[in-house]
Amino acid sequence: MLAALELAKRGLGNAWPNPSVGCILVKNFTKKNKSEIIGRGWTQPGGRPHAEIVALKQANYKTLNAIAFVTLEPCCHIGKTSPCIKEIIRSGISKVVVACRDPDPRVSGRGLLQLKNAGIEVVYGVCKKEAEKLNEGFFKKIKIGRPMVTVKVATTIDGCIATRSGDSKWITGDLSRQQGHLLRAKHDAVLVGVGTVIKDDPSLTCRLPGMKKFSPIRIIIDTALRTPLSSQLVRTSRSYPTWIFTNKIETSSRVKIFRKNGVHVISLANQKTKNKVPLRTVMKKLAQEGITRVLVEGGSKVITSFMREQLVDHLVLFRSTKIIGSNGLTVAGNLKIERLLNAISFNRTSIRESGEDVVESYER
């Protein structure tokens, strides 16, 4: 099952709106020195085909009495493709080992029941916690109606993300920036505020060799629709989708101009917040669009807003060896916390070196 989980990781960031699942098919599993992996698969871009179908095709459906190790309960509802359960039953597989149930109410428990009713042995719960953690974003989308949120920050030793003038290129080294690009590839969407767009004109693509096709949806929080039409995010929106959340009304001439340029503009003008885009509404809308994993890259105002709204699930700090001092721009602005008891707390899950930098990962 651990090997199937490693396969599932390959689909993170491009399997949405579906979860990323791994599947391994094995023959002669109980026979010493004779067990053979006959098929491997993981969820493909856009969520189809599913991992089980990929593995079955790799095995040429020569799967009589084989065992399937699957990281998530196989689907049993009819969507755009035939249910995986039917294909598994037809294949002659005799045993299915499942890590965790699908939280989708159309599937949850029903897939396992159909397998049992077909005479297939079912083992449930192997590496359950690991499997649920891997698809945390999908589980959050189904259960609480929002995607998983990761905040990524490049910071100095003293917690600054830029000098007072806004200079931030580059706080961290090449290796850390490469890992930052990999984080983009492993998320469905990357989100910034309009201030970052105006100041830095970022592309927000994954620029690792051969991985540009895994670039996430680019999202801008832009209350008054100030994003320059000349920005990279607008100019490249037909190749790499750009979405803007704004308070401008649907019939605004500026909204129409952006849409003509290929930008997906989501107007929240009917909301009661005039001076800011309501982040909880943004997260709800993203979940409705199928987004399960969001990477927030800044700037400080946006990060502060996410912190205030208690929307940050994971925090990744790339900490350099530099010091800027008290006049530098900090990771978060005023969170209106007066007592230490009310401080936002995270649990550190890992710390490792990245060239001269240190990468610290936290979760709530």
Q: CB neighbours (10 Å) of residue 163?
A: 15
Where are the domain boundaries for CATH 3.40.140.10 in the chain?
2-135
Which of the residues 52, 73, 87, 136 is marked catalytic?
52
pLDDT at residue number 81:
65
Where are the domain boundaries for CATH 3.40.430.10 in the chain?
145-363
pLDDT at residue number 272:
65
Task: Count Cβ atoms within 10 A of the Cβ of residue 184 and give its class: 0-12 exposed, 13-18 middle, 19 or more buried.
Answer: buried
pLDDT above 80: residue 82: no
Mean of the pLDDT values across residues 3-28? 96
Q: 53-76, pLDDT tens digit by residue?
A: 999 999 999 999 999 999 999 988
2-135 maps to which CATH number?
A: 3.40.140.10
* Amino acid occupying residue 228: P
Task: Count Cβ atoms within 10 A of the Cβ of residue 22 and give its class: 0-12 exposed, 13-18 middle, 19 or more buried.
Answer: buried
Give the predicted TM-score (pTM) of the model: 0.93
52 counts as catalytic: yes
Give the helix/strand (H/E) hosting 97.
Answer: strand 95-98
CA distance 107 to 98: 14
pLDDT at residue number 102:
92
pLDDT at residue number 187:
98
pLDDT above 80: residue 230: yes
- The superfamily CATH assigns to domain 145-363 is Dihydrofolate Reductase, subunit A (3.40.430.10)
